[in-house]
Every structure is written in C-alpha cells, then in structure tokens.
Amino acid sequence: MSVLFSPITLQGLTLRNRIVISPMCQYSADNGRATAWHMIHLGHMALSGAGLLCIEATAVEPEGRITPGCLGLWDDATEAALRPVMAAIRQYSKIPVAMQIAHAGRKASSHLPWDGGQLIPPSQGGWVPFAPSAVEQKPGEAPPRALDKAGMVRIRNAFVETARRAIRLGIDVIELHGAHGYLMHEFLSPIANKRTDEYGGSLANRMRFPLEVFDAVRAAIPADKPVGIRVSASDWIEGGWDIAQTIEFAKELKKRGVAWVDASSGGVSPSQRITLGPGYQVPFAQAIKEATGIPTIAVGLITDFQQAEEIVASGKADIVAMARAMLYDPRWPWHAAAQLGASVEAPPQYWRAPPHDQKTLFGDIVSGGR
C-alpha cells in the first residue's frame, strides 16, 4: 500500500493523502484583492486530488506585499474578494484549504517577477519597506525602515487579524511564512537582523518576534484549527541562519503547539550559494523531524512519483509539498496514484476520465451515462 496516499491527521484535521499543493505567489491581485485568476487557479488546484491546498502568501498589510500584485487579507474588501473563491471550492471539492499568511519585510515593494523583480522606489509607485534593521536586501538598493516597537506590535496584530479573517472565510489551516527572506526570516537571520535590543544578537533574541507572532496567532483562532510554519532551514551563507538554529527554533515552536514545520531554505540574500538537485531540501525536513518529532513537510524539486513515495515511506518527512510540478501537471496526484496503485477523490463530472486500466483510480464508483 502506498504511504504517499495514506491519511495523516494534524491536530484534528485529517488529510486524505500526504500531498500538499504549496502556496505559490500568482502576482495577480488587484490592490490585494483576489481576482478571476484566483478563482480559476485555485479552483483548478482544488480538483487535483491532493490532500491539502495552500493559498499563496497572503499579506497581512499593504506594505507587507512582495509586489503590488500580491494577494492580501487585511480589510473587508480583501476578505470579500476571497469569499466567492472559497465558496466555489467548497461547492465542488472536499479538499481542506490552508492559507499562508505573510509579511515581505525588506523584500516588499518589488516589481513583478516577469518585470524584473527589482525594488520599486516610492517615486515610481512603490513604498518604503519595513525590516528588523535598516539593511538593504541587495547592494545599491535604498535601505528599508527599521521597525520600532510600535511597528512590531502593529504587524503582530495584523497577523492576528488576517488569521481571524481567514478562519471566518472557512480556511482550515494557517501557515505562517517564516522563510525565503521575508520579515520573520529576517528577524531570525543574523544576515538581516543587526538589532542591538532584545530582538537582535543572540539566537533567543532573534527568535523572539517570530515566536510572539506565532503565540498571538495561535491564541486568536480556534484550537481545532492547526497552525504550521514554513521556515528557511539554511541561508546558504557562512555565518547565516542554519539547520542547527532552525532545530532550536522548532523546539520552541513545539512547546507552543506548532502543527508542522515546512522546511524550505534560502532567500535572505543574493549572496546565497545553493546546491540544487532533486529533493535537495529533504534533509532539512528529515533533520527537524528526527530532532524534534514535529511533523515535517518536504519541498524542493520533488517531481517524481516514486521519489515522493520514498520520502514519506522512509520517514524522511511526513508530507511532500508540490509547487512547479503541480503547475506543470495539475493532475499530478491522479497520475501518482495510478502508478502507485492508490486512489484519489474526484468530482463526479470527472469520473469517466481514467483509462480503462485505471478504473479504480477514483475508488469504487460507478460512472453511467449514455
């Protein structure tokens, strides 16, 4: 029996299989508001047969967007724009839905990736980003504004308000974005955090603000709604954030009831030197799981069916998350199930889709018609 297609329970929420659709920025929002693109994209992914669908990094305030096109959930208008998207998913799919809530920190106010992705100055319609310290992301860029205590309280409260709005929309799971060089990762990493107060310097101090955000979000939403986190387990820079510090951070999160750690890496500096290869980040998930016992999600160039099966069957991680592979093949879970002798859930409109030799792909169903 396939382990990849076995269920897993995370703090009361049971996933039908171990495949998660990663949060993938679409840069297609209108002033933070979801658009028809989100209806099409998320609706499409909701019919994929995966165990969990995670909505893209969703900014907790306008200044927390990576780009002007990034999704947000900070007021009634952004909440209202997501409501029909969630209603459509719920009407036609049983897939649980997560939302990754985020603040871009010093990487905010950027052009869309297909427009170069560089910092947009205020004179050209951008804004001054916030960060732990006034240290620029790239040499030659204008520095961000260092957060004072009032600004940190504002952002912490914004995370709470976004999480509450997400739950009101019917979101099942919250994932905090603590990776890829965005605000919480910036606090963790000595590359970006040069503070001399109680939020900088030692590991305990650098962890303080991300843990405060986690505590506040966890306390603000129902206990049966899991809260996980995505981390960058390494900056891939000498003297930066690394797996040993990540494990200490995970231990603190475990005390606070984290549901999982989603182990990615990099993003805090263009000086990073990443060694790419299939499953290159899986050892991070494995190390965190072995050191803490927290359920982990493995990500990063996981594309092959047997590769994904081996990761969970061997216990390297509990779940795999797919991003580019799902964009390339939105029915990846169907095809994996067919190869691994498993089944997936699909809407009745698709029950006649499998080839004749895969009639059990959707379980014991009868598809009639004339």
Active site residues: 182
Q: Tokens for 30?
A: 């209108």
With contact defined as beta carbons under 8 Å apart, do 312 and 17 qualify?
Answer: no
- The three-state DSSP-derived secondary structure of 245-295 is HHHHHHHHHHHCCCCCEEEECCCCCCCCCCCCCCCCCHHHHHHHHHHHCCC
Give the span between the Cα atoms of 260 and 262, in whole angstroms.
Answer: 6
Helix (H, G, I), strand (E, B) or coil at 335: helix
Given phi > 0 = left and psi -120 to 50 = alpha, else beta, which region is 346?
beta
Q: Tokens for 274?
A: 């990443």
Picking from 341, 360, 351, the residue whose alpha carbon sits closest to that of residue 5 is 341
Give the span between the Cα atoms of 263 and 89, in whole angstroms.
Answer: 27
With contact defined as beta carbons under 8 Å apart, do 242 and 284 qualify?
Answer: no
With contact defined as beta carbons under 8 Å apart, do 145 and 134 qualify?
Answer: yes
Q: DSSP string covering 154-191, please?
A: HHHHHHHHHHHHHHHTT--EEEEEE-TTSHHHHHH-TT
10 sits in which H/E element: strand 8-10
296 sits in which H/E element: strand 296-298
Picking from 222, 217, 230, the residue whose alpha carbon sits closest to that of residue 319 is 230
